[in-house]
Structure 1
Amino acid sequence: MKFGVIVFPGSNCDRDMMHALQDDLGQEVVMLWHKDNDLSMFTKDDCIVLPGGFSYGDYLRCGALARFSPMMEQVIKFANEGGKVLGVCNGFQILCEAGLLPGVLLQNDHQKFVCKNVYIKSENDQNMVGKSVGKNILQIPVAHGEGRYYADAATLDKLNKNNQIVFRYCDEQGEVHIGSNPNGATNNIAGICNESRNVFGMMPHPERACSGELSNIDGRAILQAFTHMN
């Protein structure tokens, strides 16, 4: 299989993602420019990745402009046909703006940019990412100013009933509480998936936790899940 990493004007984690997938996990990676509109080289066994950064400067809302890029039209089509898609940080925001994932990402409750290691844990094993991670508590970096996940009560109820919540922020012991929440996200939600379980979004950066040289490879379990999905 292969991974396609989309590069938007303002992306700043695209090369990090490429390095993690290609050099740390040994996967084939194709860099994709946001103005292109051809994903014909990819099949449903492949994966499209929307990396972190500040697409189009995030001058309107985070991800709001990127959602209308030519490549995103193809990503929406790819996802609706069952193709695997992963959005990280700004990529998560874009997926929500595009309607591929429910909810929105709002300004952090403390109104400050946060950049630090946090702990997350899988909510369930009803998706391939959760199965790959298991019951392990992962230490993954975050870096965002608008990473507070929010959804209305009806959407949250649906996410819970359908087991679409993939990750929650927790402490080092795996306890979920407000003190382990870096941005005020509703119910400590750090990542979700769609009902079909082929589109995933998360705020923490797994690509920044894949190298032994950085003394943290917790992110590998997340990215490796996409190499095994059918």
Structure 2
Amino acid sequence: MRSSVLFYVSYALCLCSGLLCLLFVSVWSSCWRGGFSWDGSALQFNWHPVLMVSGLLVLYGYAAVVYRVPFTWQQKKLTWKLVHAALMLLALILSILGLCAVFDFHRQSHIPDLYSLHSWVGICTVIVFSLQWTLGLWGFLFPCSPLWFPGALKPVHIWMGKAILILSVASCISGINEKLFFTLNGNSSEPYSSLPAEAKFANSLGVLILVFGLVVFGILSKKKWKRPEIETESVHLLPHENSP
């Protein structure tokens, strides 16, 4: 009973901190950075942090913990496998759109791509995420995959899932820091070192992202909160049930 209460407290914190991350990144891009557009201007760049935080971090985190919610345990696992896969696909699509926004902005503004540590970590995160989703689809949903493959893939899938979460947090936090350095030290009367209102707000967003990542990682690391394996779940239209 105590474990269940602790889970729901953690899950509520996960949901709330994720929504706050979305709110803060949207307000930052709207109020301080001027809003949104898709015309190659700086307003197009503003889609990049919003889409990356939405997809690569928040939606990814929500999808990662969906198996841990106890009320799903009494329902068919196949249903929640499809929900998990669909949420991850949406997260991946938003992440790719976020990359498109920044690459197109760089092209229009004649700015080189992939020159910073943030960009290297971010692009690696999306590549690993794409590989993770593709392997998961083949191993846990496609009935034509070899029978040995899901069991071999499961520990790798779980490890990669946590690794992507860590990389996502690192990418988002480094991106916030990089954006503040460029804008407040180059195009602002108040330098970053003076900690103006925008810097305080964006730094708070970074702290929220860190809190969200830690809560999700904690939920994923708690063995008692894993979905129990039930033998009868092995009989489905898509037969492989060795998913995380």
- Which has a greater percent of helix? 2
Fold-level similarity (TM above 0.5): no
- Which has a greater percent of strand? 1
The structure having more radius of gyration, on CA atoms, is 2
| TM-score bracket, shorter-length normalisation | under 0.3
What TM-score do you get using the length of structure 1 for normalisation?
A: 0.27
